[in-house]
Amino acid sequence: MTNQSKINLEVVGLTSGQTQGSYSLILGEVKGKRKLAIIIGAFEAQAIAIEIEKIIPFRPMTHDLFLNVTNAFDIKVTEIVIYDLKEGVFYAKLVCEREGQLEEIDCRTSDAISLAVRYKCPVYTYDSILNEAGYEFSMEEEDEIEKIEEPETIKENEAEADEFSGYTSEEINTMLDEAIRDEDYSRAALLRDELNKRNPS
């Protein structure tokens, strides 16, 4: 498999899985139409969504801690490679560099993607994996994953969001800080969205 050319992937979106508490992480070819759907858990989905949505936790989460440790010791994660697929399970590795030396570290694919969005490093796979597990979405499916969707635990609920309309922006900011400190990322996402509506960039 290592003789194959690597194909660059990007995170396309997160959608609810077929079983409760599961999500489908959608990765797509940067230069192509094929996509991979990887089933991950709610915690992993939240870890990816929090970084993409730029919600800053009050204390470092596990993947943020990993990032801080590697930065402290001048270790760089240069790329992620999804290198194998066995019985429906994707296998991934981190390619790390320190003082000119490269090391490959095996890890879960969901963790690899959580780290990739934090390191802003490329994600690759091989043509054989895309041929086996990749597929092209219909127009309707494309519309559903056109952008990153937050998991249900941090997904916007219109009724709850309406309650913030009576507060000032200063009060919303205070509530946002409290939500992040309490690690209530569902509420934090709603408060952040309310601020964004008031102060569009």
- The structural domain count of the chain equals 2
**CB-based burial label for 107 (10 Å; 0-12, 13-18, 19+):** middle
Domain holding 25: CATH number?
Answer: 3.10.690.10
The answer to whether residue 114 sits within a structural domain is yes
Residues 93 and 71 in one domain: yes
Residues 187 and 137 in one domain: no
> What is the average pLDDT score of the chain?
82
Residues 24 and 118 in one domain: yes
Inter-residue contact 6 to 124 (CB < 8 Å):
yes
Residues 128 and 175 in one domain: no
The answer to whether residue 67 sits within a structural domain is yes
> Pairing relation of β-strands 6-16 and 22-29?
antiparallel
Q: Per residue in 73-126, pLDDT tens?
A: 999 999 999 999 999 999 999 999 999 999 999 999 999 999 999 999 999 999
The answer to whether residue 86 sits within a structural domain is yes
Q: Per residue in 166-177, pLDDT tens?
A: 788 888 888 888
The answer to whether residue 143 sits within a structural domain is yes
Residue 149 has pLDDT above 50, yes or no: no
Residues 145 and 165 in one domain: no
Residues 131 and 187 in one domain: no
Residues 163 and 112 in one domain: no
The answer to whether residue 124 sits within a structural domain is yes
As a whole number of angstroms, the distance between CA 172 and CA 122 comes to 36
Residues 119 and 185 in one domain: no
Residues 137 and 162 in one domain: no
Tell me which amino acid residue 25 is: L
Question: What is the span of the domain harbouring residue 111?
Answer: 6-152
| pLDDT of the residue at 160 | 54
Residues 96 and 190 in one domain: no
The answer to whether residue 1 sits within a structural domain is no
